[in-house]
Amino acid sequence: MPASDTHLKAFLEMIAAERGAAQNTLDAYERDLTAYLAFLDQRQRALEASNSKDVQAYLQAISDEGLAAASRARRLSSLRQFYKFLTNEGVIGANPASGISGPKKARSLPKILSIDEVDRLIETASHRVEGQEGRNLFRALRFQCLLEMLYATGMRVSELVSLPRSVLRGDTRVLTIKGKGGRERLVPLNPAARDALDKYLAVSGRFDNSPWLFASKAAEGHVTRQGFALDLKDVASEAGIDAERVSPHVLRHAFASHLLDRGADLRAVQQLLGHADISTTEIYTHVLQERLKKLVNDHHPLAKK
């Protein structure tokens, strides 16, 4: 057995024994590293004598073959782990893959809804309230309030459904939200959201003793993210919108992109969303750029020539 194959076998035995790697993980490592060893063999390079130039040449070769960035990043990770093992075993002096940057993954643009589609969702939720009584009325008003507040504030769904009832103390035109990392931020409620909140509070007396604003009989004591998401998809279907395109997170995206589309400052949107880093918020500027490109390509008289 070639020395490189012996080292690979020893590496796989190590991650199986010491890390408890699953068989699928072992198979993936073996595929990735076998491909790399074959590449070294083609270059007539011994594994023990390989260096960073070999690793870079391999990454360039699989990139030229059209391998996706995510797959190339995984293969580089496999090489780092393998070379680290060889270093610890004294087979090589230094890890030639440790200082090589992985390929950048293309950042996918968030899915959003148009203003008209959001209006249809809200209108459908409003119609659901009509003619309801008792518990059905309570559930319909609770959902309407959740929907209005989500689109009005851009809150994360986990923040929204778990709002404490104490959030209503003081001026209800502005809510104090505790987000990721315990960071607090202020989010304003527009008139439509405040109206929906007032109507919901008028029928939520049965849960007055609950610490949660959107109390329910769920184990958590409040509406769950999953429950709200399912209700939202039902309303989307009623509104004639593909339910697969609609989720609480998509409405958060819609909140941000619609604000920027109307001229809002990027920093202000960052604060409203509770993003720690503005680079996270900047993805929405790309959404607007793509929308403008599509507008020009679809409607400019010279675009089709």
Task: Give the H/E segment covering residue 176.
Answer: strand 174-178
Angle at 205 between CA 203 and CA 207, to 5 degrees: 115
Yes or no: say if 157 and 194 are a contact pair by the CB < 8 Å rule.
no
| Active-site residue identified among 222, 252, 253, 258 | 252
The strand pairing partners of 55, in sequence order, are none
Q: Of 156, 165, 185, 258, which residue is the catalytic one?
A: 156
Counts of helices then strands in the chain (DSSP H, E): 13, 2
In terms of DSSP bridges, do strands 184-188 and 174-178 run parallel, antiparallel, or are they unpaired? Answer: antiparallel
Is 156 known to be catalytic? yes
Contact (Cβ atoms closer than 8 angstroms) between residue 143 and residue 128: yes
Give the closest residue to 284 by CA, choosing from 303, 302, 249, 259.
Answer: 259
Four-point Cα dihedral 30, 32, 33, 34, nearest 10: 70
Distance CA 214, CA 106 (A): 38
Active site annotation includes 275: yes
Asked if 8 and 37 count as a contact pair (C-beta separation under 8 A), the reply is: yes
Single out the catalytic residue among 43, 127, 249, 291: 249
State how far the Cα of 6 lies from the Cα of 37, in Å rounded to an integer: 12
Distance between start and end Cα atoms, the chain: 63
Q: Is 252 a catalytic residue?
A: yes
Q: Give the active site residue among 105, 135, 180, 206.
A: 180
Instruction: Count Cβ atoms within 10 A of the Cβ of residue 139 and give its class: 0-12 exposed, 13-18 middle, 19 or more buried.
Output: middle
Phi, psi angle pair for 265, to nearest 5°: -75, 140
For the annotated catalytic residues, the residue numbers are 156, 180, 249, 252, 275, 284
